Chain A
Amino acid sequence: MDNVALEWRQVVKKRDRMTLGPIDLKLHENLVTALIGRNGSGKSTLMKLAVQLIHPDSGEVAWFGQTYSAESLPVDVRAQISYVPENFIVEEDGLKMDEVAEFRASWYPKWDWQRYEELIHRFDIPSGKKLNKLSKGQRRKFEIAAALAIRPKLLLLDEPSSGLDPFAWKTMMNEIRRCVDEDGTTVLLSTHIVEEVRRMADYLVLIDKGHSLGMVEKDFLLERGREIWITRDDELLGEMPAVVESAIESQGMVRFITMDYPGAAALLEEAGVKPIQVRALELDEMMEHWMNGAVLEAH
């Protein structure tokens, strides 16, 4: 599992409104990494660098351990990578779906027609239409089907769920999962949808203002954040680790949020205090605290 499929090394890229980097990031093979962060934080830039739509100002990108700094990606390497951008290429607008599929099939040696037909059917996309005659959601479904049909080793999805109905969304997640399971694909997806992260991701990377705030295992994050109510004890509260919020809720009761539940639970146990209530923070609450600077020690 410790093979690295994609790596950004000290990458810097200046864009109109922000500068990405210097950024160091590694995607481990056969895992799903979710890229989260506010709009304009640099998530799409990071992905475009991974398919050489843009090149870094400094630093380098490595694909399956290889760098191709001065040259473009060899065709056989590029053919193993699928990228579904947030906005689609207008050049293909006037073409029919099947023509686009034919064209891509000629570029990608592992193109799987059976898989493609199956996905088109499963996503319920009307056949024979020109791409610009498809609705936004249908177009996205087509692009995802085509991205999976090449049986990629590396799959990059920039906000793949936007415009999808809930049924297509579920199908998409199942199909991506199948791809990871059957073909050992490595996935990077940028998303704002918490449920997508919950259901799909193994690792999370938080990008903020062009910088990475780190990479954490999703379950590590889920295990850390808790809201706890205890009988008021100011001394004990003062000792609690990683408290990001606390309030006296009534005369004898205090409520606090900790980002280190294992640590807090150990202290409570030591003090012989049984919490009145413990609530697990939702992933979006955790992400918010993380974004606001809550320190998550590496594990």
Chain B
Amino acid sequence: MRIPVQINESSAEPLYHQIETQLRSLIVTGQIVEGTLLPSIREFSADLKCSVITIRRVYQDLENEGLLRTRQGTGTFVTKVDTDDREAYKKQIVLDAVRELVDTAKSVGYTVDELRQVIDETLSKE
């Protein structure tokens, strides 16, 4: 299985964190369903051209969060995600995107009103 994770090299976020965030999002939003067997640590690291140490950390963290479970000899599986988590997570993704939008607007010197206007225009085209 090839997992659709994309590393953004211009981000200051550490690699493990980028991979972890994207994998968590794929699991919580249900794009990778419960029971899915994930690639081995070595396979996944080869796909992303990063080290196994990074992937090991990602799997470990998500296992601690209860999203993954490793069974000796068989591999790492996706466990069940509850609905509350899913909703909270969706909100978090949108919040993060809004944060990014606000920062970008600030950096080019947009006022609150100008930003609001752009958002309204964009929404009206939806």
B42 & A177 in contact (Cβ 8 Å cutoff): yes
Q: Does A291 contact B (CB under 8 A)?
A: no
Q: Does A223 contact B (CB under 8 A)?
A: yes
Q: Does B14 contact A (CB under 8 A)?
A: yes
A219 & B40 in contact (Cβ 8 Å cutoff): no
- Least CB distance, B29 to chain A, in whole angstroms: 26
Q: Does B33 contact A (CB under 8 A)?
A: no
Q: Contacts A265-B12, A278-B10; is A181 near B50 (CB within 8 Å)? A: no
A219 & B46 in contact (Cβ 8 Å cutoff): no
B15 & A223 in contact (Cβ 8 Å cutoff): yes
- Least CB distance, A23 to chain B, in whole angstroms: 23
Binds B, one of A112-120, A122-130, A155-163, A198-206: A198-206
Interface SS majority for chain B? helix
Q: Does B49 contact A (CB under 8 A)?
A: yes
Write the chain B residue with the least CB distance to A280. B9
A219 & B50 in contact (Cβ 8 Å cutoff): yes
- With a cutoff of 8 Å between Cβ atoms, the chain A residues found around residue B114 in the complex are none
- With a cutoff of 8 Å between Cβ atoms, the chain A residues found around residue B40 in the complex are 181
B46 & A177 in contact (Cβ 8 Å cutoff): yes
- Which interface residue of A200, A266, A277 has the most chain B CB atoms within 10 A? A200
B12 & A261 in contact (Cβ 8 Å cutoff): yes
Q: Does B87 contact A (CB under 8 A)?
A: no
User: In the bound complex, what is the Cα–Cα distance between A233 and B15 (angstroms)?
Assistant: 29
User: In the bound complex, what is the Cα–Cα distance between A2 and B64 (angstroms)?
Assistant: 21
User: In the bound complex, what is the Cα–Cα distance between A109 and B53 (angstroms)?
Assistant: 32
B42 & A180 in contact (Cβ 8 Å cutoff): yes
User: In the bound complex, what is the Cα–Cα distance between A222 and B53 (angstroms)?
Assistant: 13
Q: Does B51 contact A (CB under 8 A)?
A: yes
A223 & B14 in contact (Cβ 8 Å cutoff): yes
A202 & B14 in contact (Cβ 8 Å cutoff): no
Q: Does A218 contact B (CB under 8 A)?
A: yes
User: In the bound complex, what is the Cα–Cα distance between A32 and B51 (angstroms)?
Assistant: 9
17 contacts between A and B (CB under 8 A): A1-B56, A31-B53, A32-B52, A177-B46, A180-B42, A181-B42, A199-B46, A202-B52, A202-B53, A217-B51, A218-B51, A219-B16, A265-B12, A266-B12, A277-B10, A278-B10, A279-B10
Nearest 7 Cβ contacts at the A-B interface:
A280-B9, A265-B12, A278-B10, A202-B51, A274-B107, A181-B42, A218-B51
Interface residues of A (CB under 8 A from B): 1, 31-32, 173, 177, 180-181, 198-203, 217-219, 222-223, 226, 261-262, 265-266, 274, 277-280
Given pairs A261-B12, A274-B103, 9 additional interface contacts (CB within 8 A)? A177-B43, A198-B49, A217-B51, A219-B54, A222-B50, A262-B12, A265-B12, A266-B12, A279-B10
